Structure 1
Amino acid sequence: MTDRRVVVLVVPGTGTWAPPGRDAEAWRLALAEDTYEVLAALDRVDVAVAVVGADESALESVSALTWPGTPVYAVDAARPVLDAVELAGPAAAVVAVSHDVPDLPGLLIGKLFRSLSTADIAVTPSEDGTVAAIGVRLPTADWVSAAAPTFDTPLAELEAVKPRRHAVGFGPGWHRLRSNADIARLDPGLEGWDATRSLLRHA
């Protein structure tokens, strides 16, 4: 039995959307770098990075953002979160975090770990109806494996398949950066998200 706790940053293998005038690949990496820095600053957790459907060049580009010794591995695009959890190694619980939350308060990750003392999974809801982070208590419950939740799985879907009332735990909500409208949610007065901030300042 282990009490090890792991946080895994899950990064798309290729660039997705980007604000006008910004390169999609540079934007992907800026978001990933800032979100990784949030996770790397957490106490008493191990940090890893999972890259979805990645080839060697994609793995290398993300590895360049991390501290030495951080595991970086590829995960299947069909089951990115559960693959990330399973490849994290022996642990009591693993929290997978979407790459597009560069200003996420680290305290929200701690709240997910606390929820996993009783819940099978715990989520940080995003304001667009998806989730910013998914925590999984190990060994993974059968219903969680069957549901194979991703960051884009609607909360209603998880609620519909959970086997008992408290099987899904909830932390405070946050916002993901998935469109131009979401950029307005970034608080210029908060420290952090330096790579994202720099990219937004310079077209």
Structure 2
Amino acid sequence: MNDQLDRRVVVLVVPAVGTWAPPGREPSAWRLALAEDTYEVLASLDRVDVAVAVVDGDEAALAEVAALTWPGTPVYSVSSALDAVAAVGPAAAVVAVSHDVPDLPGLLIGKLFRALSSADIAVCPAEDGSLAAIGVSLPVAPWVVDASPTFDTPLASLEAAKPRRHAVAIGPGWHRLRSAADIARLDPGLEGWDATRSILRGA
């Protein structure tokens, strides 16, 4: 996968309704701050095209998210992670990333792409048992389509469904920001996650 078009990443942004936000913080603003920082991490990667998909997003939601991205970044509405993958266009592999990983090291995404040279699906597990990122080789393997993985799919379910030993690759784990306990995992000494940092400071 040497050509830029062979490697695509899409940030999947969920609706604000029903999502967790720190006490006193507006869920919509919190969601957008996380999405902006996660996008910035991915947009800085070399030889990768980045898009943003909004789950069940209307025109207002799409415009809101598009305002956070660099000009020319595709922003579109989808209904699932696999829909987001299908919408990115021609590619050899695509990694869908949950919007709530503002401090995710870009190196972890590179590891998923490397794993996809032989695996059907490569995942970055989150510490709470969910998934922080899901990468797939294209075309998507039929068994992956049947499994319809989301960021809340247990890793054990994918392991049970895989048709061969190395069909599922497991990358290094990370943390998503979905509870007060997760906030403590952010390292104030690290650069980045500026929008999230601003929300937490009350700006």
| Same fold, TM-score > 0.5, yes or no | yes
Letter of the structure 2 residue corresponding to residue 12 of structure 1: V
The 3-state SS of whatever aligns with 1:47 is strand
2:73 to 70, 73, 98: 70
| Equivalent position of 2:164 in the other structure | 164
**Superposition map of 1:17-28 within 5 A:** 17-28=20-31
- Cα contact 1:9–1:35 (8 A) shared by 2: yes
| Matching residue's letter, 1:43 | D
Q: Counterpart in 2 of 1:12?
A: 14
Aligned mates of 2:41, 2:92 — CA distance in 1:
21
1:49 aligned to which of 49, 52, 58: 52
Distance 1:13 1:27 in 2: 11
What is the distance in 1 between the residues matched to 2:201 and 2:85?
A: 35
State the match for 2:176 in structure 1: 176
Q: Deviations over 1:125-174 (max 9, x none)?
A: 10111110000000100000000000010101111101111000011000
User: What does 1:23-172 align with in structure 2 at a 5 Å threshold?
Assistant: 23-76=26-79, 80-172=80-172
- Check whether the contact 1:82–1:149 (CA below 8 A) recurs between aligned residues: yes
1:4-29: CA deviation from partner (whole Å, max 9, x where unpaired): 11000000133421100100000000
TM-score, structure 1 normalization: 0.96
Q: Helix, strand or coil for the counterpart of 1:172?
A: coil
Please say if residues 14 and 58 of structure 1, whose CA atoms lie closer than 8 Å, have aligned partners that are also in contact. Answer: no
Q: Secondary structure of 1:185's partner?
A: coil
> What SS class does the counterpart of residue 54 from structure 1 fall into?
coil
Separation in 1, partners of 2:28, 2:134 = 25
CA distance in 1, matches of 2:86, 2:77: 12
Aligned equivalents of 1:12 and 1:60: distance in 2? 14
CA distance, structure 2, for counterparts of residue 120 and residue 188 of structure 1: 36
Partner amino acid, structure 2, of 1:21: G
The whole-number CA distance in structure 1 between the counterparts of 2:90 and 2:141 is 15
2:65 is aligned with what amino acid?
A: V
| Structure 1: unaligned runs, 5 residues or longer | none
Q: The residue matched to 2:184 in structure 1 has which SS? A: helix
- TM-score normalised per structure 2: 0.96
Alignment RMSD? 1.3
Letter in 2 for 1:13: P
Tell me if structure 2 keeps the 8 A contact 1:10–1:98: yes
